[in-house]
Amino acid sequence: MLPRPGKHRDMKDTLTVSARTRVPVLLPLPLAGAYDYAVPASMALRPGEFVSVPLNQREVVGVVWDPPAEPEPNPVPDRRLRPVSAVLPAPPMTANLRRFIDWVAAYTLSPPGAVLRMAMSMPAALEAPTPQAGWILAPPGGNSRPRITPERQRVLDAMRPGQVYAGAPLAEAAKVSLGVLRGMAENGLIRPALLPHRSRFSRPDPEHPGPALAADQAEAGAALRAQVTARAFGVTLLTGVTGSGKTEVYLDAVAECLRQGRQALVLLPEIALSAQWLERFKARFGVAPALWHSEVTSRTRRDTWRAVAEGDAPVVVGARSALFLPFPDLGLIVVDEEHETAFKQEDGVVYHARDMAVVRARLSRAACILVSATPSLESLTNVEMGRYAALHLPQRHGGATLPAVEVIDLRRTPPERGRFLAPPLAEAVTATIERGEQAMLFLNRRGYAPLTLCRHCGHRLRCPNCTAWLVEHRAQRRLQCHHCGHAEAPPAECPECGTANSLTAVGPGVERVLEEAAALWPDARRLVMASDTLPGPAAAAEAARAIQDREVDLIIGTQIVAKGWHFPHLTLVGVVDADLGLAGGDLRAAERTVQLLHQVAGRAGRAEAPGRVLLQSFSPDHPVMRALVSGDLDAFMQEEAAMRRPGHWPPFGRLAALIVSSEEEREADRTARDLGLAAPGGEGVQVLGPAPAPLALLRGRHRRRLLLKTRRDIAVQPILREWLARVPVPNHVRVQVDVDPVGFL
């Protein structure tokens, strides 16, 4: 690192704002664009450099951006520019990350500074790392001969000349107290010295012996390795049934990337996955990768950010935000479970990490691998159009068979009154537990009951801030809104008619299934897996361990049980309500239900014992149930495609949603109506709405939606920009733009 000018505060007086140079500086704030600053004569600034600049009364850290392609029409005159205060001692942001930020901003219609903020999430990492102090042997000689006690001798024996040792480990190695070291320093036997900077990230070893790949795995692995070796952009969709060994195959590509000396990024949807996944990684490469997600401590995040920027973290595994890390030389991005909606970020900058991963790979000339047992129609269509390559693993590894899937018709064999498990499912669970195997009941709903109703007047308890019922969490004696976090104690009487003891729970959540399970199988060891009962990766890891070690007979879980887990003793999966995801007007409801339930089903029978899956449904003839029973997801996806193609629905057309919201219902309506009146039109362009959003009230804001739909060959961004520019939006009304919407609430 070059020596940098000193602290900015002292510099200001000595600098004159000369007319010589100006640079645009992008700030991590939702401003319209970069601001120009004057470059002090003492500074040479290149784009990408992190700098501190004055903004109003503050100092803000930003990035020297690239000069605009065309000169601005009315630039601030040079003499009015304020100077850059200081350059920060951090590796400059690479050109390809800057292009990525610009690209994401333009695509999502977000201020570039808001995107930059995601790439600067660890401001502390921009400061020079503080070196740690340790001890070094003092050179021999000197007049006085200090006393050498046995303790001191042990320290001297533990040290080699010229090497710096950290205090605590040295004291421990010599079995002495830290005070002994200080005494030796006073007597001139050892001296304080700075420890050399040592990376806390070990290099994964690509030659570490991994499992021998089966023939079809080896073939897919070779194709992926070739793509990495080409050091060029390309996308491959890696598909294969659950348990076919896709992970081992893409880790092979990660190994090749390491051999190439480039960095690799693996994006995972749910960080709960990481425990088992990390074990796999360690088994393959000997060491753990760097991790990036919200639960990593800020100190580790700072070190990780810095290590990534310095090329010191060869492999990063993370949630979607890892896409904005400062990799200087990214050679591979893997998006595992690419169909997952968790890759879509819904607030702030609204972006889809899978799609943006492809963009980042293109800008970095990197390979991109999208992985799924149940790929999205988007990715399948990209394969069909020849934009992506495809690789498929047809069999489960080690000859394990796919589970047999059956539907329990709830119209013919309903559960007893007040119960939720139909007799055939209950019997299957009993038999499984009696055989000493594990069973899982899946219901994608947290809490005890999704609705509380007054038996007397029919009143339903709803959230005061949202268009949503309050969900009962009986164990915590609370009613909760799952949208805004509102919580209240269950009232003793109906708030509407005042009748006492009239409130009754309607429908099941996992807690209620647990209650039923406790009655049916009192001796079974039961475990609930839901995001609120397993907060964080550590708890999820412990649950996974308990299941693997057969400390659990029956697992009751929400969607967090669906993802990636490998439970060899689990042979029965019961889906309590297979129809649950099909309600509502979501474009992808059927696709998503098939994906989720197929993933859940894939947890069964992953080892020798064959698996069985039972789906409780009121509509056993629905295409979703038929696809799950037959296992022919290809045919299902082709039907989906046939339904979406004629209307130009994604991926055969483009969508963007505008969500208008305000605390004042009239204001939201007015702006939505103005947008509707100014709606763009023409060949291949259509606007639907405005209409109240399904969540018409969310966190106290009234919401209206408009949907822009275009043919695939028409980009939505210029249309949106022009449209939004034509409609004035009052201050307290917000218009959120969601390009390629995934949720329609």
Residues near ligand ADP (CB under 6 A): 211-214, 217, 240, 242-248, 397, 566
Question: Measured from the CB of residue 701, what is the shortest distance to Zn ion in angstroms?
Answer: 11
Q: Give the span between the Cα atoms of 62 and 48, in whole angstroms.
A: 9
Is residue 377 close enough to count as binding Zn ion by CB under 5 A? Answer: no
Distance of CA 309 to the CA centre of its chain: 20
The one of ligand ADP, Zn ion, none whose footprint includes residue 326, by CB under 5 to 8 A per kind, is none
Strands (E), 43-137: 50-55, 58-64, 86-87, 133-137
Q: 214 is in the binding site of which of ligand ADP, Zn ion, none (Cβ under 5 to 8 A by kind)?
A: ligand ADP
617 binds, among Zn ion, ligand ADP, none (CB under 5 to 8 A by kind): none
Do 287 and 314 form a contact (C-beta atoms < 8 A)?
A: no
Q: Which one of Zn ion, ligand ADP, none is in contact with 245 (Cβ closer than 5 to 8 A by kind)? A: ligand ADP
- Restricted to residues 439-478, the positions that interact with Zn ion (CB under 5 A) are 463, 465-466
Least CB distance to ligand ADP at residue 248 (A): 4
The structure tokens 């709903």 sit at 445
Q: Which does 243 bind (CB under 5 to 8 A by kind): ligand ADP, Zn ion, none?
A: ligand ADP
- Single out the residue of 227, 223, 220 nearest to residue 260, CA to CA: 227
d(CA 79, CA 59): 20
User: How far is the C-alpha of 46 from the C-alpha of 429, rounded, in Å?
Assistant: 66
Residue 466 interacting partner from Zn ion, ligand ADP, none (CB closer than 5 to 8 Å by kind):
Zn ion
Please name the residue that has the structure tokens 């704030």. Answer: 29
Which CB sits closer to Zn ion, 182 or 486?
486
Torsion of CA 397, 252, 268, 627, to 10 degrees: -40
580: which 2 tokens?
A: 């649950």
User: Could you tell which of Zn ion, ligand ADP, none binds residue 481, using a CB distance below 5 to 8 A set by kind?
Assistant: Zn ion
* Count of residues that interact with Zn ion, criterion CB under 5 A: 7
Is 257 a binder of Zn ion (CB under 5 A)? no
For the CB of residue 459, give the shortest distance to ligand ADP in the complex, in Å: 47
Longest Cα–Cα distance of the chain, Å, equals: 99
SS3 468: coil
Question: Which CB sits closer to Zn ion, 430 or 465?
Answer: 465
User: For residues 471-510, which are near Zn ion according to CB under 5 A?
Assistant: 481, 483-484, 486
> Measured from the CB atom, is 252 or 640 closer to ligand ADP?
252
Shortest reach from residue 62's CB to Zn ion, in Å: 37
Closer CB to ligand ADP, residue 251 or residue 323? 251
User: Of the two residues 245 and 653, which places its CB atom closer to ligand ADP in the complex?
Assistant: 245
Closest CB to ligand ADP among residues 273, 695 = 273
CB of 217 to ligand ADP, least distance (A): 5
CB 221 to ligand ADP: min, Å: 9
| Smaller CB separation from ligand ADP, 180 or 272 | 272
Q: Choose from ligand ADP, Zn ion, none: what does 465 bind? Cβ within 5-8 Å by kind.
A: Zn ion
Q: How far is CA 641 from CA 619, 631, 638, 729, in A?
A: 22, 18, 5, 37
Q: How far is the CB of 613 from ligand ADP (least distance, A)?
A: 16
- Closest alpha carbon to 263 in 312, 220, 230: 312
Strands 367-372 and 22-26: unpaired
User: What is the smallest separation between the CB atom of 170 and ligand ADP, expressed in angstroms?
Assistant: 41
Q: Tokens standing for 590?
A: 């059927």
Nearest distance, CB of residue 397 and ligand ADP, angstroms: 4
CB burial of 575-610 (b: ≥16 within 10 Å; e: otherwise) equals bbbbbbbbeeebbbebbbbbbbbbbbbbbbbbbebe
Residues that bind Zn ion (CB under 5 A): 463, 465-466, 481, 483-484, 486
